[in-house]
């Protein structure tokens, strides 16, 4: 049995939409030479934020925000966000709040490696 509308065509092409811009991008075409998947989406999101000041839909950054000074950074993955928080906490001796995309905040204390490494 063959169906002409084969499911082979249904490969995962990462698409990103942005409600604020009212646009949608097909990353397979927009970004050449990058692996489709996470990296393209991340790269696109970073680029988009750089140009417009906001992230596309479905992209929620990790936000590392110092409790004591205006320093802070946004990241698209936990690991670099956590690393930034630890580094800043250690160097500046400031506690850094880590806001997770799903809402469970964490506080990185200057002297604490409390969740190991």
- The residue ranges that bind Zn ion (CB under 5 A) are 18, 20-21, 52, 66, 68-69, 71, 92, 94
Name the minimum Å distance from CB 85 to Zn ion.
Answer: 10
Say how far residue 71 (Cα) sits from the centre of its chain: 18
Is 11 or 50 the residue whose CB approaches Zn ion more closely? 50
Residue 92 makes CB contacts below 8 A (sequence gap 6+) with 66, 68, 69, 71, 110
Closer residue to Zn ion in complex, CB, 28/90:
90
Please, are residues 42 and 64 in contact by the beta-carbon 8 Å criterion? Answer: no
Nearer Cβ to Zn ion (20/83): 20
């Amino acid at each position: 049995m063959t169906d002409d509308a084969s499911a082979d065509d249904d490969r995962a092409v990462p698409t990103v939409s942005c409600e604020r811009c009212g646009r949608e991008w097909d990353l397979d075409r927009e970004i050449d030479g990058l692996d489709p998947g996470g990296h393209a989406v991340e790269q696109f999101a970073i680029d988009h934020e750089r140009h417009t000041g906001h992230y596309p839909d479905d992209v929620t950054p990790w936000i590392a925000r110092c409790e004591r000074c205006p320093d802070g950074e946004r990241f698209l993955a936990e690991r670099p966000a956590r690393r930034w928080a630890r580094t800043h906490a250690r160097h500046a001796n400031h506690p850094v709040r880590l806001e997770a995309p799903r809402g469970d905040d964490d506080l990185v204390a200057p002297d604490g490696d409390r969740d190991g490494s």
